Amino acid sequence: MTAALDFESARYNMIEQQIRTWDVLDQDVLDLLFTVKREDYVPPALRALAFADLELPLGNGEKMWTPKMEARVLQELELKRGERVLEIGTGSGYLTALLASLAGEVLSVEIEAGFARDALAKLRRHAFSNVRVEVGDGARGYGHGAFDAIVLTGSTPVLPERFFEQLKPGGRIFAVIGDPPAMTAHMARWTAPQARVSTDLFETVIAPLKHAAAPARFTF
């Protein structure tokens, strides 16, 4: 009982001290952070750090986003019931669970088979029936479906046009674009055929997607 109470206290402090102070004020998002238990998705050895303002290592050079990053991106996406989401990089499965809690359907693509297997087991354990996890390389787009929202959980030097081709009207893409040490969290929205509005949200540095698209180089 004491451990459970400590988790709830730590969760409350995370939301009040990290997440609200990063301008995450959407009540649906804040309520969701109490409902979807982050400690159930972090590596077992790091469970005590589930609410720390840290990128937690998952192995193979991959890391979980910080809690405030997860919450901020969720708020920016403004997901609605019935919407389809493409997540590039499943990782621990925690962000997948948050997305699935707000949207209608989530397709999450993970290049590491072990991560995909473990994340799917966690999601099934928590009764997320609206999530599909597939092993694949989504760094330049994935499959032939159309989506209301696309989230890249690793950075990319440039955002491939293929992602825009996979957006439904009114759709949006979240991506961290650039090379270290200069990266920008970026939201692009489909506004009309061949038209989009892009917004820079904040500066950050996160690990790149494997096989991320590189900018074209001039040759002489």
Average pLDDT, the chain: 94
pLDDT value for 193: 78
What is the β-pairing status of strands 147-152 and 167-179?
parallel
CA angle 144, 164, 156 (to 5 degrees): 100
Report how many domains make up the chain.
1
pLDDT value for 216: 67
Q: Is residue 34 part of a domain?
A: no
pLDDT value for 214: 83
pTM metric for this prediction: 0.94
User: Phi/psi class of residue 61: alpha, beta or left (left: φ > 0; alpha: ψ in -120 to 50)?
Assistant: left
**CATH code for the domain in which residue 159 is found:** 3.40.50.150
Residue 1 pLDDT > 80: no
Each residue's pLDDT tens digit, 78-107: 999 999 999 999 999 999 999 999 999 999
Rounded-to-integer distance, Cα 220 and Cα 191, Å? 38
Q: Is residue 215 part of a domain?
A: no
Q: Is residue 132 part of a domain?
A: yes
pLDDT value for 220: 47
Q: Is residue 137 part of a domain?
A: yes
Q: 23-41 b/e with 16+ CB inside 10 Å = b?
A: ebeeeebbebbeebbbbbb
Q: Is residue 118 part of a domain?
A: yes
Work out the pLDDT band at 194, boundaries 50, 70, 90: confident
Q: Are 171 and 149 in contact (CB under 8 A)?
A: yes
Q: 170-191 b/e with 16+ CB inside 10 Å = b?
A: ebbbbbbbbeeeebebbbbbbe
Interacting residues of 146 by C-beta distance below 8 A, sequence separation 6+: 84, 166, 167, 168, 171
Each residue's pLDDT tens digit, 108-132: 999 999 999 999 999 999 999 999 9
**Domain encompassing residue 153:** 54-65+73-203
Q: Supply the angle between the helices 94-102 and 67-77 in degrees, to the nearest 10.
A: 30
Rounded-to-integer distance, Cα 195 and Cα 91, Å? 32
Percent of the chain with pLDDT over 90: 87
Residue 63 pLDDT > 60: yes
For 34, the enclosing helix (H) or strand (E) is helix 27-35
Average pLDDT over residues 135-150: 95
Question: Which class for 134: exposed (0-12), middle (13-18), buried (19 or more C-beta within 10 A)?
Answer: middle
Residue 182 pLDDT > 70: yes
Residue 2 pLDDT > 70: no
pLDDT value for 218: 47
pLDDT value for 217: 60
pLDDT value for 184: 97
Q: Is residue 12 part of a domain?
A: no
Q: Is residue 157 part of a domain?
A: yes
Higher-pLDDT residue of 218 and 39 is 39
Question: Hey, is 111 helix, strand or coil?
Answer: coil
Q: Is residue 97 part of a domain?
A: yes
